[in-house]
Amino acid sequence: MHNVEISPVPTLRLSRTELYVLIRLLKASGIAGIDFTWFQIPPVDLPRETLVRTVDEAVKSLVARGYLVPLPEGSNGPLSFTSYMDQESGQQNWKKVGIPEELATLLSTCTFPAQSLALTWRTSRGAELLWLHTLDEVIVAVTSPLPDIYQFMVLPSWDTAQLIILEALGIKEQQAPRQPLPIGRLQANVLPLARKALEINDPAQALSQLTGAGLPEPTALAFLEAIGACTTLARVVVTSQGPEPDGHAQRAKLVAIITPTICFVLSPPDASEEAYTVRAMSADEVRAWITAAWSAQVATRQRATAGSASNWDLPT
């Protein structure tokens, strides 16, 4: 993702505190992937004055940058905010503030998304996280370039979102095996055992564990080789929220082991995640899976919400 060049893409950076102020104004409970516990349940040893001062400074920063607009007294503006400090001192400098429409649309997409994609990946540089949220054809990408700083990018299309995902994962020209490898099924609890065997330099034991759990030997051999050559380990979760027919969120999940030459994809066949289907894939096949998972959730959501105008809940 670091080398992706997309222009023009509107971007916005906000601190965690600034986000907390804004989501309160939007009457939202939070944004998936961002922890607001410090504000909602402050540490017992945190002086109230510290919290008050932190929130007040965030409000002033938002006003100074134009992300909050003070409204005149008596305004019919729909949003009201009185800081903790003003409540205690009795001085209400800003009785009402407005959020610019573009910012409200961006944040509403993230706080009440119709659909979300969570991508976590680990490389030699460490772990990273990307969220995609969509609502009413708006797609917003959320990353954290610095601790407690969040960057929001409004994307023009799913193609742009897919480009970001593929670049982040290093999915480029990986090919499928010349000799097709049989698709296998593997119990989830076997994976850490096989990984531990590799860590102590016992590939024979790792192979025995995989084949003993039902993975065909050719697939198991190639899978172990991919683990050794892995450049990126990723997890993708696509979630569609709302009044589904069964009352539950619909999810599609994938774990990918990516090497410079091949990708192995593990996907649970059901919600239990007690076992995974294991298959070797090319870059094109991984790209197609991610797009199909996103499109399938869109279709499911559209069927479930036909004639409904209710808000969506946040992913859990």
For the cut 70, the answer to whether the pLDDT of residue 233 exceeds it is yes
For the cut 50, the answer to whether the pLDDT of residue 68 exceeds it is yes
What pLDDT score does 97 carry? 77
What pLDDT score does 267 carry? 87
What pLDDT score does 307 carry? 32
Q: Please state the rounded mean pLDDT for residues 79-84.
A: 44
Q: Residue 223 — very low, low, confident or very high, per pLDDT cuts 50/70/90?
A: very high
For the cut 90, the answer to whether the pLDDT of residue 14 exceeds it is yes
pLDDT tens for residues 256-267? 999 999 999 998
Question: Which residues are CB-contacts of 185 (< 8 A; sequence separation ≥ 6)?
Answer: 214, 215, 269, 275, 276, 277, 278
> How much is the pTM?
0.77
Out of 70-79, 179-188, 239-248, pick the least confident. Answer: 239-248
Average per-residue pLDDT for the chain = 79
What pLDDT score does 43 carry? 73
Instruction: Tell me what percent of the residues of the chain surpass a pLDDT of 90.
Output: 32
pLDDT tens for residues 152-175? 999 999 999 999 999 988 998 899
259 closest CA partner among 284, 234, 231: 231
Out of 1-15, 31-45, 108-122, 164-178, pick the least confident. Answer: 1-15
What pLDDT score does 182 carry? 93
Question: Which residues are CB-contacts of 36 (< 8 A; sequence separation ≥ 6)?
Answer: 16, 19, 20, 23, 30
Instruction: Tell me what percent of the residues of the chain surpass a pLDDT of 70.
Output: 78
Query: Could you write out the DSSP letters of every residue in 103-149?
Result: HHHHHHHHHS-SEEEEEEEEETTEEEEEEEEEETTEEEEEEEEETTE
What pLDDT score does 137 carry? 86
Classify strands 263-267 and 250-258 as parallel, antiparallel or unpaired.
antiparallel
Crossing angle for the helix pair 217-229 and 203-212, to the nearest 10 degrees = 130
Q: Please state the rounded mean pLDDT for residues 101-124.
A: 90
What pLDDT score does 117 carry? 92
Q: Residue 136 — very low, low, confident or very high, per pLDDT cuts 50/70/90?
A: confident
For the cut 80, the answer to whether the pLDDT of residue 241 exceeds it is no
